[in-house]
With several copies, the nearest count.
Chain A
Amino acid sequence: MDFNLTEEQSMLRDSVERFVADHYQNTDRAALVYSDLGYSAEHWRLFAEMGWLALPFAEQHGGFGGTPVDTAILMETLGRGLVLEPYLSTVVLAGGLVALAGSEVQQADIIPQIIAGDLTLALAYLEPASGFDPSHVATTARSDGDGFLLNGYKCVVYQGPSADRFILSARTEKGVSLFVLEQGLPGLCRKDFKTLDGQWASDLSLEDVSVGPEALLGGEGLALPALEQVLGRAVSAVCAEAVGSMAAANEITRDYIRVREQFGVAIGSFQALQHRWVDMHIEAELAKSMSDALAMRLRDGDEDVPAMVHATKVTVGRAAQIVGQGAVQLHGGIGMTDDYAIGHYYKRLSIIDLLFGNQDYHATRYEALEPAQ
């Protein structure tokens, strides 16, 4: 039993920490947010050079064979800096699906390109009426000669505008299936928008989008187990990210209430504020423990992983709310401004609370694993 980092893991963390310090602490994150890409292509090249894009992939595809624990270490540190690059979309979600469900040809095509930093992808799995349930798919893929004709609507696809390809779920006669689609296919229409956490995303509507048989990712009708597994890893990744963001938010808040004066003293000398900060700290501590443990359980392939995924998302979601809201409140007026960093932490933490399912969704699924009589 050991929650401490190995030497290699410490090195990984240190390298990501250096990146955040060099590229996010002294530059203008807002400029990146409002750029067309929404992140920095230069940073992305650095991600490739550092080997981070290769981290979770198998060695046969040029990867490092890293585990969910390594991903968590990386994401936690990125979370401290509110890093904008699309690691989650391209590597964890899309890359994860290709590695898990893709044919050899698809893996050999896509994974090396991801690792090289030459290809970004986005996952389109939710629809306006699906809530957070990946199995609720109304988009259809009708057989059409060798290939398929896709019709339907997908919502809130992170990195939709900038991704080179989409992985998209649609229902065939055999059930929910995954497809790899190029940007700009005829009939694939995108509505782009900024997100609350300063990224780009899109809704996608599909009207008779025609794809060949090679677009099918994994067996027809077999998408759900793969999706669930990759979404579990994505939960781990965003929980780790939230842990990093919460640690940073608590430090920023601590530093602020130590120096901000009212009534002639630092506001950090007021007991009600101290105790509120302590409660934020406790929430963050518990979230960290769950996030670490989930990553280890995913790595070890434990049987009770689903319960642990749900429990962790519930714990981290609540902590994210308490820390985010508390940080804004303890800052007072300045917490309500766009200029000051704390608001951005609050927004990202709010979004993480709902990404891949909010607390109610995961608590309900947690309960369903052990049904009441």
Chain B
Amino acid sequence: MNLAFGSKDLIFQQELQAFLAECLPDDIRERCARGLIVGNEDLIRWQRILYDRGWMAPNWPVEYGGTDWTLTQKYIAAREFAAACAPLPTFGITMLGPVLIAFGSAEQKAFYLPRILKSEDVWCQGYSEPGAGSDLANLKTRAVRAGDDYLVNGQKIWTSYAHWADRMFCLVRTDPAAKPQKGISFLLIDMDTPGIEIKPIIGLDMGHTLNEVFLSDVRVPVKNRVGEENEGWTYAKYLLQKERSFVARVAQSRHLVQRLKRIASEQKMGAGYLFGSAEFRRRVSRLEIDLQALEYTELRYLSKELQGEPVGPEPSILKIRGSEIQQGLKQLLVESLGMYGVPYENDSMTVSDSYMEVGPDHRHGIVAEHLYGRGATIFGGSNEIQRNIISRMLLGT
């Protein structure tokens, strides 16, 4: 047993830190630090910097433009990027890339992967449907062969950033007669194809990140199908597993703890400071300790993975506890504002940088991040679903 990272890893970590300190633009760092959404142009600006450094796709193999980082180094990198308040990698990098690399045709890889690396394409994920949220096997969007095309009809929902996207990777039903999890195919769809209509969903935070995507007789060339027809579920499951790595979000939560402590020791509350409230203080330290436990758990699981143990319920455990800690911290951040938790403007995050000029500067972003964060226990497999997964694996009931 050994807690320390090796000296090579420590040098790697310093290299990352130096890069992030020098190259991450201040305005982008500032938005991320406040939990505000980073606009598409800003995101691309940052990604071009990453691309120039060769670090755009840490999770891809070197031959496709990825890195040769070890699993430990990938972990360190994810942590350092988050600690430095860099934007998270996009769907194209985290989700589509691995699927194309594993299951795509040579042409698909040659065409799409470089475009993702160079930020020439922004991708969105067409997964959920009104009747298929937790239960993806219930997909209804139909794709029917018509010559060299599929004719796609249906509706997707909760599609993050569809309004920024050039393309969508998408699950569609190609064989309605098959069992629910069979008969699904994986298509790549250009968002400017006729028949696609995007309708914004305004969130609890009054921001626009989610969308409905309506597909009416959308023609998708058969060559845009990834892998075999009716085998899309297999690829989706592969992708889901990728999605669940590094889900604990420890570095992000640590940043929340730091913000919280800074505010609580600066914020006057009547006769004293907020941190003088023993109850508030205790709630902060409980969450800080929980976060420490989560971090060691993440490291312990990483060390099992390095040893070659197969992945079991660990990602679900990290997701459940990570999201609970995030929500707890965001709740405390809102409480730290006292009555300044009340003001809220609907365009404070995405449409413009304008925000209320009332209250202390540190309040900017906190309520929006809190509201948006209520989704952490809902999207990407709700915590109820995660508990079912763990139960199925360990109780077998």
List residues of A whose CB falls within 8 A of some B CB. 1-6, 9, 69, 126, 128-133, 135-136, 155-156, 191, 193-197, 201, 203, 254, 257-258, 261-264, 266, 268-275, 277-279, 281-282, 285-290, 292-293, 295-297, 300, 308, 311, 314-315, 325, 328-329, 332-333, 335-339, 343, 346-347, 350-351, 354, 358, 360, 363-364, 366-367, 372-373
Chain A residue with minimal CB distance to B4? A1
Instruction: For A275, list chain B residues within 8 Å (CB).
Output: 384, 387, 391
Chain B residue with minimal CB distance to A308? B292
Contact present for B344 and A292 (CB under 8 Å): no
Contact present for B204 and A201 (CB under 8 Å): no
Contact present for A289 and B204 (CB under 8 Å): no
Is there a chain A Cβ closer than 8 Å to B342's Cβ?
yes
Instruction: For A196, list chain B residues within 8 Å (CB).
Output: 341-344, 367
Encode B143-157 as 1/0 by CB contact (under 8 A) with A.
Answer: 000000000000001
Pull 28 A–B residue pairs with CB atoms less than 8 Å apart, ordered by A.
A1-B5, A3-B303, A128-B360, A131-B274, A132-B339, A133-B270, A156-B343, A191-B356, A193-B343, A193-B358, A201-B343, A257-B397, A274-B388, A285-B317, A286-B293, A286-B294, A296-B1, A296-B2, A300-B4, A311-B289, A328-B374, A329-B382, A333-B157, A358-B335, A363-B279, A363-B285, A364-B279, A372-B273
Chain A residue with minimal CB distance to B392? A274
Which of B4, B273, B296 has the most C-beta atoms of chain A within 10 angstroms of its own C-beta? B296
B133, B302, B334, B359: the one contacting A1 at CB < 8 Å is B302
Is there a chain A Cβ closer than 8 Å to B32's Cβ?
no
Contact present for B134 and A292 (CB under 8 Å): no
Name the distance in Å between B352's Cβ and chain A's nearest Cβ. 15
Ranked 7 nearest A-B pairs via Cβ = A131-B269, A133-B270, A129-B268, A289-B296, A372-B275, A274-B391, A196-B344
Interface residues of B in 39-73 (CB under 8 A from A): 72
Given contacts A4-B307, A254-B395, contact A194 B345 (CB under 8 A): yes
Is there a chain A Cβ closer than 8 Å to B321's Cβ?
yes
List residues of B whose CB falls within 8 A of some A CB. 1-6, 9, 72, 128, 131, 133-135, 138, 157-158, 201-204, 206, 210, 264-265, 268-271, 273-277, 279-282, 285-286, 289-290, 292-294, 296-297, 299-300, 302-304, 306-307, 317, 320-321, 334-335, 338-346, 356-360, 367, 374-375, 377-379, 382, 384, 387-388, 390-391, 394-397
Contact present for B340 and A269 (CB under 8 Å): no
Instruction: For B202, list chain A residues within 8 Å (CB).
Output: 337-339
Contact present for B203 and A269 (CB under 8 Å): no
Q: How distant is the Cα of A179 from the Cα of B282 in the complex, in angstroms?
A: 37
Contact present for B133 and A262 (CB under 8 Å): yes
Name the distance in Å between A134's Cβ and chain B's nearest Cβ. 9
Chain B residue with minimal CB distance to A255? B395
Contact present for B296 and A293 (CB under 8 Å): yes
Instruction: For A5, list chain B residues within 8 Å (CB).
Output: 1
A274, A296, A373: the one contacting B395 at CB < 8 Å is A274
Q: How distant is the Cα of A297 from the Cα of B160 in the complex, in angstroms?
A: 42
A156, A289, A293: the one contacting B339 at CB < 8 Å is A156
Contact present for B292 and A156 (CB under 8 Å): no
Q: How distant is the Cα of A343 from the Cα of B344 in the complex, in angstroms?
A: 14
Contact present for B158 and A333 (CB under 8 Å): yes
Give me 17 other A-B pairs in contact (C-beta within 8 A), A3-B303, A286-B294, A336-B379 excluded: A131-B338, A132-B269, A196-B367, A258-B396, A264-B138, A274-B395, A277-B395, A278-B387, A279-B387, A281-B394, A285-B317, A293-B3, A296-B1, A332-B378, A336-B204, A336-B210, A350-B334
Contact present for B134 and A262 (CB under 8 Å): yes
Q: How distant is the Cα of A320 from the Cα of B106 in the complex, in angstroms?
A: 54
Name the distance in Å between A365's Cβ and chain B's nearest Cβ. 10
Contact present for A337 and B203 (CB under 8 Å): yes
Q: How distant is the Cα of A156 from the Cα of B341 in the complex, in angstroms?
A: 10
Contact present for B303 and A336 (CB under 8 Å): no
Q: How distant is the Cα of A31 from the Cα of B38 in the complex, in angstroms?
A: 29
A270, A293, A354: the one contacting B335 at CB < 8 Å is A354
Q: How distant is the Cα of A132 from the Cα of B342 in the complex, in angstroms?
A: 13
Q: How distant is the Cα of A309 from the Cα of B367 in the complex, in angstroms?
A: 28
Contact present for A289 and B273 (CB under 8 Å): no
Instruction: For A133, list chain B residues within 8 Å (CB).
Output: 269-271
Chain A residue with minimal CB distance to B341? A354
Instruction: For B6, list chain A residues within 8 Å (CB).
Output: 1
Instruction: For B335, list chain A residues within 8 Å (CB).
Output: 354, 358, 360
Contact present for B131 and A261 (CB under 8 Å): yes
Given contacts A290-B293, A328-B374, contact A193 B356 (CB under 8 A): yes
